[in-house]
Amino acid sequence: VTLAERSLAAVADHIKSGKARRIVVMTGAGISTAAGIPDFRSPETGLYANLAALNLPEPEAVFDLDFFKKNPKPFYVLAKDLYPGTFHPTVSHVFISLLASKGLLAQLFTQNIDCLERTAGIPGELIVEAHGSFASQRCIDCKTPFPDDKMREHVARAEVPRCIRSEADGDDRCDGLVKPDIVFFHEALPSLFYERRGLTETADLALVLGTSLSVHPFAGLPDMVPEPVPRVLFNMERVGSLGTQADDVLVLGDCDTGVRKLADALGWRDELEAKWRE
Ligand code: OAD
């Protein structure tokens, strides 16, 4: 399939003609900025530019396991701003949900930890949360799960939770640090990521939205999509190898605007807006 014209209209035709039935979507923090959640690397507004007050050796230390063991407080200051529960999915999330409801979504790979994919109604089995999420948490030493309600209270006060395992349970007291099941640097990605990443090789269309593609192994996913399968980038800036293959389409600018244009070209715009307002 050659996209003679590198445009959204050509992408829409590819979908409407029935040639794209196994769409793989890859996302990052940029799809959630419109929901009010900062991304990481945008120069002025990104979290890494705004961590100076926390006296970190470098901004990424906030997600570094060795640093967390020595000083967990900065992570919990950040967690207070990122914690799910008060945010509403964006038009981009809802568009992915629309693809799922039309049976066209083969898999969504997200780096986001905000759980907005599930909130937007994308079925759990179609989501790979490659960097984990805030949905659960446990002790980093003995792995004892920590209750959700207690976690919410701790995060709201930016307090570091400690393991609940005690002598009363017939065990030794633990008191280890509790951490959400988010993938920190030096930690393995969930096995589901490795089980499912091969789906990028069988995709008939790839959409990449809101990511700087700077963290591996996630950043390698778009390169697994075989030519000449079209890859479409919805992002503020050009990233990774997107734009180097003949059938790549670059939709630069904010992703909700780009997605709305694609929905227009597909004749899905009213459905998209209605679902977004639900
Ligand atoms: P980044 O902050 O690195 O990149 C976000 C990308 O989205 C940038 O290219 C922005 O230009 C773009 N962007 C921002 N707002 C946008 C908008 N409204 N529309 C379109 N594009 C927009 O975020 P990620 O790529 O997700 O790890 O970062 C990857 C990982 O680095 C994260 O998962 C996180 C971090 O360390 C963990 O949380 C473990």
Interface confidence (ipTM) of the complex: 0.99
> How many CB atoms lie under 10 A from the CB of residue 85?
11
Distance CA 250, CA 11 (A): 11
14 is annotated as an active-site residue: no
11 CB burial (10 A radius; 0-12, 13-18, 19+): buried
SS3 for 181? strand
Decide whether any atom of ligand 1 lies within 6 Å of the 131 Cβ: yes
> Which residue's CA is minimally distant from atom 9 of ligand 1?
212
Return the ligand 1 atom nearest residue 257 CA. 19
Q: Which residues pair with 145 in a beta bridge?
A: 138
**pLDDT of 161-198, one tens digit each?**
999 998 777 778 899 999 999 999 989 999 999 999 99
- Nearest of 17, 227, 164 to residue 104 by alpha carbon: 17
**SS3 category, 148:** helix
Residue with tokens 């269309």: 205
Please give the pLDDT value at position 50: 83
pLDDT at 194: 98
Q: Ligand 1 pocket, 255 CB below 6 A?
A: yes
Say if CB 140 and CB 120 are below 8 A apart: no
Strand ranges for the chain from DSSP E: 23-27, 105-110, 127-129, 132-139, 178-182, 205-209, 231-235, 249-252
Nearest Cα neighbor of 262 from 99, 34, 64, 21 is: 99
| Catalytic residue chosen out of the listed positions 14, 88, 93, 131 | 131
Mutate to test the pocket of ligand 1, among 111, 114, 183, 260 (most ligand atoms within 8 A of CB): 111
115 annotated to a ligand binding site:
no
Question: What count of other Cβ atoms lies within 10 Å of the Cβ of residue 191?
Answer: 8
Q: Is the CB of 243 under 6 A from ligand 1?
A: no
Distance CA 111, CA 218 (A): 8
Minimum CA distance residue for ligand 1 atom 15: 30
Low-confidence ranges of the chain (pLDDT < 50): 1-2, 4
